């Protein structure tokens, strides 16, 4: 308790003057007259108790004196101090990665409880909360209300993506307005080297001191063998006791499982042979541990294109464009091309369309070209998702194929067509365009090879909340994302990059025409659990860690109640006169 305004101590003369007034005021004696006989009857109850009568005679004096003393005290500005967090402003960096969900209660819940306690100790000083995801995100900015901070902290949820603590620290340092700020980091563990030699602020690391028991499914993959598909599952017991359980593989209506036993720290590779030819497989680890999100893994058996066959009659720029994509371009003569099966062919041999291999036809060997002018107009197709054709110049075209679907035109004439079998037709020689000089040329080749590989039904594997530009190619542009039968959100193609869901699993992108599958998989970093120690780093300018709380509002409330009591005394007519 303290006083901050001793200069007004002279006001104590006012209650002293009140006391002197009551000492020297004129005395009266009781005198019965006929006009007060009625009031004597009313006063009988009070006259029955001499103590109550004495109190009532002096009550007004006590109330006035108490109110006056409290008024003088409030002028002196009394306050009391309470200990709080050291610093003038605070930034909380919270790790919301999947590994923080391990344990019961989870590490994230433990850190949220600690954040609530520290937010209360901040006692009205500004607090900013940052989510340390792949991109730092401000969840709450310079909030002073403890209640709002508590609600905001309670609403924090895991983003499942790997935490970028170092990036979040650099971002937090730009938000501090003065050197008396403190950055609190809430995570499972943090290397001291990250905060080494930092002097712009003070850093407090709040780590998880106990490491949860965990058995993780580290790797899962499938490949085609001589007698069918085979799978390999890598599993690790990262705990201090032996465990037993099972690994189950499921794909469509097919399923197979095997029992496992692991010693502490033991790692095993579990093979599965003679699996049926199913595109999508899921591995599930059934054990008792403190972390469930690394007990599942997924894989999709899409056709990977490592090489294509290029007709050696085509311009050399075609081969260079393919090789720039990291795809091997094997050269072959026109006579050798029919001998290839299943692998994409890039040629101008029109007779190969509809054969045993997917075809990217560039030009035609059975027709004569004609001159054209004007810009290229493209339709809504995945081929052009990364390869805009606005600046491409075409000097001549070949006649189009009947009953083939045009997806790009020049002067109303077909430029790029699709066959009913899915072959891609470019009705121009490379020499008749400036396309190879445009960045869209290799991107078009990449889209075309992916289209021919038959992987258009699989969008790929994503990390949680990963943003990526993908070619969906719907006519309406709107896709609904489902996990099983549960609707997640909608994505409008072309408005922004696709953002994957945060929770691992198998998802479907659905529109009116087709369905595409994609997988959300944890980063391998999130399959490793850590524990650490709390520590401090950095420098902080000396500041007062306690907070002064004025008691004037409470004093004014009491004075108001005393004044109401005085009014009641006057109303009852019980003051001594």
pLDDT tens, position by position, 319-342: 888 888 777 888 888 888 888 877
Class of CATH domain 458-524: mainly beta
User: 316-452: same fold as 89-211+529-544?
Assistant: yes
CATH code for the part of the protein at 214-300: 2.60.40.10
Q: Which CATH class name applies to 89-211+529-544?
A: alpha beta
Q: Look at residue 150 and tell me whether its pLDDT is greater than 90.
A: yes
Classified as helix, coil or strand, 558 is helix
User: What mean pLDDT do residues 514-543 have?
Assistant: 84
User: Cα(398)–Cα(426) distance, rounded to whole angstroms?
Assistant: 9
Average pLDDT, the chain: 82
Share of the chain above pLDDT 70, in %: 82
Mean pLDDT of 256-274: 92
Comparison of pLDDT for 71 and 185, the residue scoring more? 185
Domain residue spans in the chain?
89-211+529-544, 214-300, 316-452, 458-524
Distance, CA of 348 to CA of 365 (rounded, Å): 6
Of 148-157, 227-236, 260-269, 301-310, least confident by mean pLDDT is: 301-310
Q: How confident is the model at residue 577 (pLDDT cuts 50, 70, 90)?
A: very low
**CA nearest to 156, candidates 124, 192, 129, 188:** 129
The larger pLDDT score, comparing residue 386 to residue 102, is at 102
Confidence (pTM)? 0.62
Does the pLDDT of residue 565 top 90, yes or no? no
The band of 35, judged by pLDDT with boundaries at 50, 70 and 90, is low
Over 70: is that where the pLDDT of 398 sits?
yes
pLDDT for the residue 52: 45
For 214, counting Cβ atoms within 10 Å of its Cβ (0-12 exposed, 13-18 middle, 19+ buried), the class is buried
Per residue in 336-359, pLDDT (tens digit) is 888 887 788 999 999 888 887 889
b/e sequence 431-446, b meaning 16+ C-beta within 10 Å: ebbebbebebbbbbbb
Indicate the SS3 state at residue 306. Answer: coil
What DSSP string runs through 378-428?
A: E-S-GGGSS---TT--B-EEPPPPTTPEEEEEETTEEEEEE-TTS-EEE-S
Please name the CATH architecture into which domain 316-452 falls. Answer: 3-Layer(aba) Sandwich (3.40)
């Amino acid at each position: 308790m303290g006083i901050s305004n001793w200069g007004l101590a002279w006001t104590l003369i006012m209650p002293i003057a009140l006391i002197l007034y009551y000492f020297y005021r004129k005395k009266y004696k009781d005198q019965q007259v006929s006009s007060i006989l009625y009031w004597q009857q009313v006063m009988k109850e009070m006259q029955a108790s001499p103590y109550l009568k004495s109190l009532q005679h002096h009550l007004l004096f006590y109330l006035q004196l108490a109110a006056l003393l409290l008024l003088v005290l409030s002028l002196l500005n009394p306050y009391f101090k309470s200990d709080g967090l050291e610093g003038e402003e605070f930034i909380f960096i919270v790790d919301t990665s999947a590994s923080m969900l391990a344990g019961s209660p989870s590490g994230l819940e433990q850190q949220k409880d600690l954040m609530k306690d520290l937010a209360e100790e901040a006692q009205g000083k500004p607090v900013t909360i940052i989510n340390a995801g792949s991109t730092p995100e401000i969840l709450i900015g310079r909030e002073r209300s403890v209640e709002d901070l508590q609600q905001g902290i309670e609403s924090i949820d895991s983003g499942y993506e790997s935490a970028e603590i170092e990036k979040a620290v650099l971002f937090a340092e730009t938000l501090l307005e003065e050197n008396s700020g403190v950055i609190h980091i809430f995570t499972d563990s943090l290397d001291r080297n990250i905060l080494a030699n930092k002097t712009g602020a003070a850093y407090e690391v709040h780590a998880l001191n106990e490491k949860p028991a965990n058995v993780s499914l580290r790797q899962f993959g499938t490949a085609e063998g001589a007698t069918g598909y085979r799978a390999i599952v890598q599993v690790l017991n990262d705990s201090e006791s032996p465990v037993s359980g099972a690994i189950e593989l499921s794909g469509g209506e097919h399923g197979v499982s095997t029992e496992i036993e692991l010693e502490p720290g033991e790692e095993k590779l579990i093979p599965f042979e003679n699996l049926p030819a199913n595109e999508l497989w899921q591995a599930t680890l059934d054990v008792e541990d403190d972390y469930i999100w690394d007990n599942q893994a997924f894989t999709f058996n899409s056709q990977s294109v490592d090489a294509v066959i290029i007709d050696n009659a085509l311009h050399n720029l075609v081969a260079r464009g393919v090789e720039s994509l990291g795809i091997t371009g094997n050269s072959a003569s026109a006579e050798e091309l029919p001998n290839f099966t299943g692998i994409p062919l890039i040629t101008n041999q029109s007779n190969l369309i509809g054969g045993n291999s997917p075809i990217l036809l560039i030009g035609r060997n059975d027709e004569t070209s004609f001159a054209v002018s004007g810009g290229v107009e493209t339709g809504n197709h995945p081929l052009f998702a990364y390869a805009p054709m606005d600046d491409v110049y075409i000097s001549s075209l070949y006649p189009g194929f009947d009953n083939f679907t045009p997806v790009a035109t020049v002067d109303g004439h077909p430029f790029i067509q699709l066959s009913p079998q899915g072959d891609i037709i470019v009705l121009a020689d490379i020499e008749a365009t400036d396309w190879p000089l445009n960045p869209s040329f290799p991107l078009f080749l990449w889209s075309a090879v992916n289209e021919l590989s038959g992987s258009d039904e699989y969008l790929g594997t994503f990390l949680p909340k990963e943003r990526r530009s993908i070619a969906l190619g719907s006519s309406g542009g709107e896709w609904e994302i489902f996990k099983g039968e549960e609707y997640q959100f909608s994505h409008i193609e072309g408005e922004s990059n696709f953002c994957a869901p945060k929770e691992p699993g198998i998802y479907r992108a659905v529109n009116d025409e087709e369905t595409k599958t994609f997988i959300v998989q944890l980063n391998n970093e999130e399959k490793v659990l850590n524990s650490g120690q709390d520590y401090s780093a950095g420098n902080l300018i000396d500041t007062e860690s306690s907070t002064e709380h004025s008691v004037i509002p409470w004093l004014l409330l009491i004075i108001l109640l005393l004044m109401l009591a005085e009014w009641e005394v006057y109303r009852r007519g019980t003051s001594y006169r």
